[in-house]
Amino acid sequence: MAAALNPRSSAKLSPRVRQRVVEAARRLGYRPDFFASSMRRRTSRLVGLIRANPPEPASMRHALKGLEAELGADYRLLFLGCEWFEEQQEKAVDMLRDLNVEGLLLWDLPAWFPFRVLAGLRARGTPLAAISGPRCAGVPHFRSDVRGAFGDLTRHLLAAGRRRLVLLTKAHPPQQRDLYWRTYEREEGFRDGLQGCPEAKGWLCREGEESSKLGQEPKDPFAAGYVGMKAVMTGAPWRPDAVICTNDLWAAGALRAARELGLDVPREMALTGFDNLPLGAYLSPSLTTMEQALEDLISGAVGVLSKAIKGAGSADDGVFKLPCRLIARESAP
């Protein structure tokens, strides 16, 4: 039976016999037992993926194609959503360890992910790779060059004649750069961009500082931008003519607030986001934003992980930054 169903088997079976066995197995609904096969091969041919939220279908397809290209069609990608609760994250890792996964992708995990739960997998020598999310020591980390992206956004606005710029961003605990690197890099990129224009003014409006209500409703992804824009217009030391938002969802909320405040975007104020979500192209005005090289991030992480699984060398534990692309639209032409 096993020889007939395994196309790579070296057993000598006539095509007629093999076909009869295959047809009989199909009629009976027979499937090889996954765990028995794994024990016999001493390999599960499973690669785990943990993410707080489900990936976009296109991203998942790209990851699957990358695995197949690197490891072969018989490898499978097992996605477990750990949500935003520590106990769920711990259960997800325990399940992957029980299934004897050969590698693990950590994809945009929350800052409070309990990395201690990975100790068992790491002690067993299971290769890991990360896409965005917090930095985990000893794990190769693929992420966007956020500092460069926000520097480019700032320079784009300055080139359009804007001189009073606000960055609407998140507050972050001090001395925790590995966890909140995106927040640090947003601010650094903003300052980098301003340096080339001495007459420009810049101001930071941080979540939790200028308004205690910023980001207070995690179930509403637009609320922080909405409340933040109102905080900007009441708290900034001067009337801004451009606001750079942390992401496209915040920008959508900020655009709604700007309308309520009677602001004309982009005539009186330019507005930008980050991520190039499909939503941005359908807003009015359409949203200027930055697009991440998501496919390249996935390819890099999958490639490093696959090489480690194949024993072609240990995974480089460095940080790999990929540039973003400016998408200029109506909100900040």
Cα 121 to the center of its chain, rounded Å? 22
Asked if the structure places residue 161 within a domain, the reply is yes
67, part of any domain: yes
Q: Are residues 78 and 158 in the same domain?
A: no
pLDDT for the residue 148: 98
What residue numbers bound the domain in which 98 lies? Answer: 41-143+295-323
pLDDT of amino acid 218: 52
pLDDT number for residue 188: 96
Residue 264 lies in a domain: yes
Whether residue 273 lies inside any domain: the answer is: yes
Given this model, what pLDDT does residue 257 score?
Answer: 96
Using one digit for the tens of pLDDT, what is the confidence trace for 77-118? 888 776 656 677 777 788 888 888 999 999 988 877 888 888
169 in the same domain as 181: yes
Yes or no: say if 4 and 12 are a contact pair by the CB < 8 Å rule.
Answer: no
In whole angstroms, how large is the CA radius of gyration of the chain? 25
Q: What's 312's DSSP letter? A: S
- For residue 303, being part of any structural domain is answered with yes
Helix axes 248-260, 223-235, angle to 10 degrees: 50
| Residues 187 and 129 reside in one and the same domain | no
Q: How many domains does the chain have?
A: 3
Residue 127 lies in a domain: yes
Q: pLDDT tens for residues 141-158?
A: 999 999 999 999 999 999
Does 186 share its domain with 276?
yes
Same domain, 188 and 270: yes
Say if residue 206 is in the same domain as residue 82: no
What is the pLDDT at residue 233? Answer: 94
**What is the pLDDT at residue 159?**
97
Per DSSP bridges, beta strands 325-327 and 164-169 are: unpaired
Q: What is the pLDDT along the chain (333 residues), one digit of tens a residue?
A: 555 555 555 667 677 777 777 777 677 676 665 555 555 556 778 898 888 777 777 777 888 888 888 888 778 888 877 665 667 777 778 888 888 899 999 998 887 788 888 888 888 889 999 999 988 888 999 999 999 999 999 999 999 999 999 999 988 777 788 888 999 999 999 999 999 899 999 999 987 444 334 444 456 889 999 999 999 999 999 999 999 999 999 999 999 999 999 999 999 999 999 999 999 999 999 999 999 998 899 899 988 988 888 887 655 678 999 999 999 999 999
> Is residue 164 located within the same domain as residue 239?
yes
Q: So what's the pLDDT on residue 331? A: 98
Per-residue pLDDT, 316: 63
What CATH code is carried by the domain that includes residue 266? 3.40.50.2300
| 110 and 188 part of one domain | no
pLDDT at 100: 87
Q: Are residues 158 and 259 in the same domain?
A: yes
Shared-domain flag, residues 288 and 299: no
Pair 51, 166 in one domain: no
Task: Look at residue 333 and tell me if it is in a domain.
Answer: no
Pairing of the two strands 141-144 and 201-206 = unpaired
Nearest to 271 by CA among 236, 238, 240, 227: 240
Same domain for 9 and 134, yes or no, is no
Q: Say which residues have a Cβ less than 8 Å from residue 151's Cβ, sequence separation at least 6.
A: 189, 190, 192, 193
Q: What is the pLDDT of residue 279?
A: 95
Long-range pairs for 25-30 at CB < 8 Å and ≥24 separation?
A: 25/1, 30/1
Looking at residue 40, the DSSP 8-state letter turns out to be: H
Domain-embedded: residue 245 = yes
Return left, alpha or beta for 16; rule: phi > 0 is left, psi -120 to 50 is alpha, else beta: alpha
